[in-house]
């Protein structure tokens, strides 16, 4: 009976809070030439997760947003991850796209990837990512740094291993941790792994049984999550419930984190940029389109997240 009550409380919370998630309209690009439109993937779904440096004193994402989620030149996408959920619901694959990747941005020529959001908001970023990878972005989720800090604090902070030492971090401290790059040996590559390490740790804390066995705690976490994150308006309440139900058995250990293949860094027009690998990259993106990332990882080297990070 106790198990049924816990399950019932958890399902009530999910059903209740999916209706409170903030939706963003018009996030998908329009007027894109047919040749530049990626075909639907052969299985599963792919999300684009974006962390926004809005430099706004007011929240820009989530239910509590009080400022526009995008304004020309005012925000850059500081964190970008393609998350592929396979059709068999066996896990998830998270691929970080370096913010300094030197790419073609439609209508703007070559520039750093994070400039796409600054110049054209979600539609231009999605268009840029889709043309780069030829992977169809099914849905978008955006969180700003205000939401990041609140969500971290709502679970009581996170425990990370940094430079061999255990550290407990609140939202403000965790934000400094995931944004650091200048003092890291591999710069942007280590920075993205820090972001992945934080996300894995946060998910482990949110998804542990004690979170949802306590109705009060579950309500608090879901309230902060839905208050912080915005999603595209194509992701309806029913879609969210199906997404959570279909992936209910997935645990943090079933999630593979990696960086997009890159050749290294370089200087272009006086800017330090990340040079993506034009050979290895398309192989990874093809595996994502074909819902075959498990096979890809068995036959290819990948810059995967280890047990800890720098």
pLDDT, tens digit, 9 for 90 and up, residues 241-256: 888 788 878 888 899 9
Distance CA 26, CA 80 (A): 19
Inter-residue contact 292 to 88 (CB < 8 Å): no
- Helix or strand holding residue 169 (H, E): strand 165-169
Distance CA 80, CA 92 (A): 16
Distance CA 10, CA 218 (A): 7
Closest CA to 57 of 144, 120, 141: 144
Distance CA 188, CA 113 (A): 13
Other beta carbons within 10 angstroms of residue 37's beta carbon come to 13
Q: Give the pLDDT of residue 167.
A: 94
User: Would the pLDDT of 21 be above 90?
Assistant: no
Q: Give the pLDDT of residue 240.
A: 82
| Residue scoring higher pLDDT (108 or 3) | 108
User: Would the pLDDT of 19 be above 70?
Assistant: yes
User: Would the pLDDT of 278 be above 80?
Assistant: yes
- What is this structure's pTM? 0.86
Mean per-residue pLDDT over the chain, rounded: 83
What are the C-alpha distances in Å from 272 to residues 23, 180, 188, 269, 287?
Answer: 35, 16, 10, 9, 29
Q: Give the pLDDT of residue 309.
A: 63
- Low-confidence winner among 106-110, 130-134, 226-230 (lowest mean pLDDT): 226-230
Express each pLDDT in 205-222 by its tens digit.
877 766 666 667 767 777
Tokens of 95: 């691929």
- Helix or strand holding residue 239 (H, E): helix 237-246
């Amino acid at each position: 009976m106790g198990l049924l009550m816990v399950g019932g409380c958890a399902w009530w919370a999910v059903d209740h809070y999916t209706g409170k998630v903030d939706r963003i309209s018009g996030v998908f690009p329009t007027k894109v030439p047919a040749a530049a439109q990626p075909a639907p993937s052969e299985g599963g779904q792919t999300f684009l997760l974006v962390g926004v440096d809005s430099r706004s004193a007011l929240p820009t994402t989530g239910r509590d947003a009080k400022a526009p989620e995008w304004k020309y030149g005012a925000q850059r996408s500081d964190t970008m991850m393609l998350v592929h959920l396979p059709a068999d619901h066996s896990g998830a694959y998270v691929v970080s796209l370096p913010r300094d990747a030197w790419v073609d941005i439609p209508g703007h020529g070559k520039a750093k990837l994070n400039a796409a959001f600054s110049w054209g908001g979600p539609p231009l970023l999605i268009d840029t990512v889709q043309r780069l990878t030829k992977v169809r972005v099914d849905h978008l989720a955006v969180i700003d740094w205000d939401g990041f800090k609140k969500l971290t604090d709502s679970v009581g902070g996170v425990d990370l291993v940094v430079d061999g030492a255990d550290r407990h971090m609140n939202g403000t401290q965790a934000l400094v941790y995931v944004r650091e790059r200048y003092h890291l040996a591999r710069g942007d590559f280590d920075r993205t792994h820090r972001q992945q390490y934080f996300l894995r740790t946060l998910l482990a804390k949110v998804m542990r049984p004690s979170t949802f066995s306590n109705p009060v705690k579950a309500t608090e976490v879901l309230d902060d999550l839905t208050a912080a994150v915005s999603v595209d308006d194509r992701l309806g309440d029913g879609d969210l419930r199906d997404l959570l139900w279909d992936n209910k058995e997935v645990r943090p250990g079933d999630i593979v984190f990696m960086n997009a293949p890159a050749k290294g860094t370089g200087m272009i027009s006086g800017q330090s940029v990340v040079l993506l690998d034009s050979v290895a990259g398309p192989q990874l993106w093809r595996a994502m389109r074909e819902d075959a990332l498990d096979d890809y990882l068995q036959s290819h080297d990948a810059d995967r997240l280890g047990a800890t990070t720098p």
